[in-house]
Amino acid sequence: MILQSLVAGLSGFAVSLLIAFVVCFCAPPSALLDVPNHRSSHIHPTPRGGGLGILIPVLVVLCFGTAESDALWSITTGVGVTAVAFVGLLDDLHHLEIRLRLVVHLVGAIIFASAAVALSVPTTQSALLLASVFSWWVFWGVSLINVVNFIDGIDTLVGLQALVFGGFTYLAVDGQGLVGLTAITMTGASVGFLVLNRSPARIFLGDVGSGGLGLLFGFLGVATMVYAGWSVFHAFLPLMAMFADELVTVTRRVRRGERLTEPHRSHVYQHLTSRGWRHGTVALGYAVHSVVSVGVAVLFPALDICFLVVAGTLLALTLLGMWSVVSVLDQYKTASEHDLSRDPSE
């Protein structure tokens, strides 16, 4: 199994790097070009679509899920991720209407929820419980797709998250079976992508990559629950930093009376980079947080009071820290703008 894992990881790395080079240097100049605007964190037109390099080798690995125990997970993962990635690719190329994208995201989330319920909930449970759990997984699937997309705004951030989460899943299932191969392939492919995504990035994930990866994170998390016997809190704990950023951002925007459907630059990571922090430094900070979260999950594998206290404390400190940082930066920005607007003769 170690040899298979090594081959899968190296193959993912090679394929991802190759596709990234092709998109960067061989794609039509305007086909996948991300032209910067007032909300962008980059200043030069940059190709997007590098997420194809991560997803394609993963989807190839999923085709080998012929064993009866792997069939449901591999088929639903392949179909769901492909659907979300495909609409993301069309959006990268043609800028689709948000309603169409959300419909496909919902379809992908329904596929994900169906697999999650079928794999983790006994069919003997009541219809009300099954419907409630199914609804939760649909919500979680849509959230994963969109949160990863929202967080994919600076170089290396989501690529490092994929690397850590893939490694976490591989360790959780002891590298066994199709899930282990899928996870290590995603990890290797993430490294290949990061070669050209490191700041200043020569390529971006694009919506094809961020949306597809978001749903893939969900399927890997469910696999961790099913095959490693961990709780849903353990399975998704390494994604805490991204969701904490989103929660702080949404809460602050609601408090300010902003419309949540309007584009913005209010994420925590955007506040940091706009104040001069390097993309790589911010992304590394999020990755370190994810590694710490992995440590908490590994050191406290049981869903008991110890895990809840430690994980809850980490979440509280993360939310408090992000909120405090953004508040201080906002105050500094307001003071600076006030100083600039003052009459020089005063």
What confidence score (pLDDT) does residue 274 get? 87
What confidence score (pLDDT) does residue 66 get? 65
Pair 298, 276: CB distance under 8 Å: no
Q: Is 60 exposed, middle or buried (0-12, 13-18, 19+ CB in 10 A)?
A: middle
Q: Which residues of the chain carry a pLDDT beneath 50? A: 337-340, 343-345
What confidence score (pLDDT) does residue 245 get? 97
Per-residue tokens: 306: 């110890």
State the sign of the Cα–Cα–Cα–Cα dihedral 36, 38, 41, 43.
positive
Task: Name the phi and psi angles at 44, rounded to 5.
Answer: -115, 145
Tell whether 115 is covered by a domain: yes
Per-residue tokens: 245: 């950023």
SS3 of 62, please? Answer: helix
Look up the domain containing 70 and give its range.
Answer: 2-341
What confidence score (pLDDT) does residue 27 get? 63
Tell whether 183 is covered by a domain: yes
Tell whether 294 is covered by a domain: yes
Cα 324 to Cα 122: distance, rounded to the nearest angstrom: 43
Per-residue tokens: 21: 């080079």
pLDDT digits (tens, 9 = 90+) for 156-187: 999 999 999 999 999 999 998 999 999 999 99
Q: Per residue in 295-316, is it b (16+ CB within 10 Å) or e — as a string?
A: ebbeebeeeeeebeeebeebbe
Give 33's strand partners.
Answer: 47
Tell whether 277 is covered by a domain: yes
Give 47's strand partners.
Answer: 33
pTM, entire model: 0.93
Tell whether 346 is covered by a domain: no
Residues in the chain: 346
Tell whether 271 is covered by a domain: yes
Nearest to 93 by CA among 17, 150, 15, 27: 27
Tell whether 234 is covered by a domain: yes
Q: Within 13 A of 113's CA, how many CA atoms are on the CB side?
A: 21
Q: Which amino acid is at 175?
A: G
Number of folded domains in the chain? 1
What confidence score (pLDDT) does residue 340 get? 47
Q: What is the CA 31 to chain-centroid distance, rounded?
A: 24
Tell whether 206 is covered by a domain: yes
- DSSP annotation of 238: G
